[in-house]
A and B are shown apart, each in its own frame.
Chain A
């Protein structure tokens, strides 16, 4: 077995598809023994708000419920549950400090377990990863 692979993910948008994609990649990687760090920045921060229920983008927004039901049918947990699962599996969740300031998001608005960090702080982590993904 090779040494532990490390993954860095940056999420800059908050639509349902982007949110679920980030969670799926993170949870799958974590289940394979990889160390995962996710940086939620700009609109991505909305996904970290307590009780976040992202919607599909634009006009597809109306189909979010239908999509959620489809996911349920094949055993895929909803976004919020996937976030919980990620935390359980040790995925490191980071909120961008600058985005929080610019968008008026307070620490108490953010889901528990998320750490607040700046871009340099995250890049320092990302510099030591094997795979980097940008979801935005």
Chain B
């Protein structure tokens, strides 16, 4: 069961701030899905993953929404 972090309606930097908080509460190896309709998230989420050493497994675009699958590595 993968947790879904719904960030629809939130603008940068709120999605990454919430992501950081969520990941902190997770175990290493766990995955989550973050959903955002913020255009900024296209750059923000990959950047956050790169900076923090967590893995962006995949990105899906559907209409205005972006779904990011992220794995906690650290």
A: residues with CB less than 8 A from B are: 1, 5, 24, 27-28, 30-34, 74-76, 85, 89
Overall SS of chain B's interface: helix
When C-beta atoms are compared, the residue in chain A nearest to B50 turns out to be: A1
B: residues with CB less than 8 A from A are: 7, 9-14, 16-17, 19-21, 47-48, 51-53, 74
Q: Report how many A-B pairs have Cβ atoms within 8 Å.
A: 45
Overall SS of chain A's interface: loop
**Which of A27, A33, A74 is close to B17, meaning CB atoms less than 8 Å apart?**
A27
When C-beta atoms are compared, the residue in chain A nearest to B47 turns out to be: A32
List of B residues within 8 angstroms of A34 by Cβ:
51
How far apart sit A26 and B45, CA to CA, in the bound complex (Å)? 17
When C-beta atoms are compared, the residue in chain B nearest to A2 turns out to be: B51
